[in-house]
Amino acid sequence: MSLIRHHVAGKETGAGERTGQVWNPATGEVVGEVAYASVAETEAAIAAAKAALPGWRATGLVRRADVFFRLRHLLVERQDELAAIITREHGKVLSDAKGEISRGIENVEFAAGLVHHLKGEHSEQVARGVDVHSTRQPVGVVGCITPFNFPVMVPLWMAASAIACGNTVVLKPSEKDPSASLFLAALFEEAGLPAGVLNVVHGDKVAVDTILDSPDVRAVSFVGSTPVARAIYERGTANGKRVQALGGAKNHMIVMPDADLDAAADAAVSAAYGSAGERCMAISVLVPVGEETADALVAKVAERMATLRIGDGTDPSSEMGPLITREHRDRVASYVTGAAAEGATVVVDGAAQEFEGDGFFVGTSLVDHVTPGMKVYDDEIFGPVLSVTRASSYDEAVALVNANAFANGTAIFTRDGGTARAFEMDIEVGMVGVNVPLPVPIGAYSFGGWKSSLFGDSHIYGPESIHFYTRSKVVTTRWPDASESQIDLGFPSNH
């Protein structure tokens, strides 16, 4: 069985004294072992990044941009190979894997514009003979800790922006699907990135804590669950680091009585069950306004669920694959079996659906009459379970969303422009969709939620990532005649 090792300073490293198993979720078979980095191995990766920093920071912006142009070409050229790696270890269907790659490429394209992004400002003659200009400079070594559900897209969200800004990176991907990160590192270096600028270490809390505690790591980016995001933020900031930690979500989709219910049902099914619900932007709560709207919408969603094809992600006919692990599948199923006891109505019970083989499959579930306080509502399930929480009015629906601890994404379906505009103003959520169920911003904007969905001040990728991965420096210059020099103990004035 192959050992998946670390990638440090352009070389494969790691003795594999501690390892974990890597599974194919569609078959339930172990397909490899991944080395878990020790403290010493993680420190070696950090040291490699630190050693590569001066040279990469000194590399001209046009030369850096050229790396990203070439990387984009390689990602497009080899997307089938990369998608197959994602599907093998994560389980998502190939079309979904390719979609993930395409969204990662968006940030590579954004990063290629670094010559523009890193421009400073200049003010001439702010006082007699005095000019002021600002620059953006890299923070240094950056730690990137990424989740299992997007093993290509999220690393590209982080590493592309960090590297474009002149930083070097230690990437710690999920140990559940580690191979895609090594493929990315190889593509970066084939595109011309010097060895040591992007390093990959696999593992668990040992590697993460070493990154968080190292004085040589100046900034940390994280995507994962809210409890871990909070812990990452607190430990990292306590050690003086700049930290952005994106946490969990419970995304609501409000459907007004005037909405196109067929379009809303299509959107709800797509957004709830795509990638088996293992998305932080998945719609997990459907909020129809009015009993008539709710009854019709539940019927339409259930009708569409009956036609979904669940199977191995390598099968072109499959629309949804398995969950990432057997334990996670059982946890997701427990929410459905417990929903009735909490007073909800299980309309479609995916937990009862049986599948051939040993894969980690679960069916899609629809649970109606769900209210806050039920576990099926309160918890981030991260699986193909769609709850329906009925509201009697627009105001009640908005109040429901705004009361939730999570504030990652939300959507409203309506034909009324006034309602849509009011929703944009009223809702307290970081990413908002109007007749768009998954409002993931394009690469020219930034991604991130509010409240317990984000710890830190900066959203990920896009313009905010440039600010996160750089520090602003302001320089004031004066070139006076020697004859004008004099002692002045007063506070500097620009007059």
Tens-binned pLDDT, residue by residue, of the chain (495 aa)? 789 999 999 999 998 899 999 999 999 999 999 999 999 999 999 999 999 999 999 999 999 999 999 999 999 999 999 999 999 999 999 999 999 999 999 999 999 999 999 999 999 999 988 999 999 999 999 999 999 999 999 999 999 999 999 999 999 999 999 999 999 999 999 999 999 999 999 999 999 999 999 999 999 999 999 999 999 999 999 999 999 999 999 999 999 999 999 999 999 999 999 999 999 999 999 999 999 999 999 999 999 999 999 999 999 999 999 999 999 999 999 999 999 999 999 999 999 999 999 999 999 999 999 999 999 999 999 999 999 999 999 999 999 999 999 999 999 999 999 999 999 999 999 999 999 999 999 999 999 999 999 999 999 999 999 999 999 999 999 987 766 667 777 777 665
Q: Which domains does the chain have, with CATH numbers?
A: 3-247+464-474 (3.40.605.10), 251-434 (3.40.309.10)
- Helices then strands, counting H and E runs in the chain, come out as 16, 23
Sequence-separated (6 or more) residues with CB below 8 Å from residue 5: 12, 13, 14, 16, 35, 202
pTM: predicted TM-score of the whole model, two decimal places:
0.95
Catalytic hit among 280, 282, 381, 460: 280
Q: Rounded CA gap, 448 and 148, in Å? A: 18
Q: Rounded CA gap, 92 and 76, in Å? A: 19
Residue-wise burial string across 183-216, b where 16 or more C-beta atoms lie within 10 A, e elsewhere: bbbbbbbebebbbbbbbbbbbeebbbebbbbbee
Task: For residue 144, indicate whether it is catalytic.
Answer: no
Residue type, 450: W
Task: Give yes or no for a contact between 476 and 130, defined as CB atoms under 8 angstroms apart.
Answer: yes
- ∠ CA(215), CA(219), CA(225), 5° rounding? 115
Task: Give yes or no for a contact between 338 and 331, defined as CB atoms under 8 angstroms apart.
Answer: no
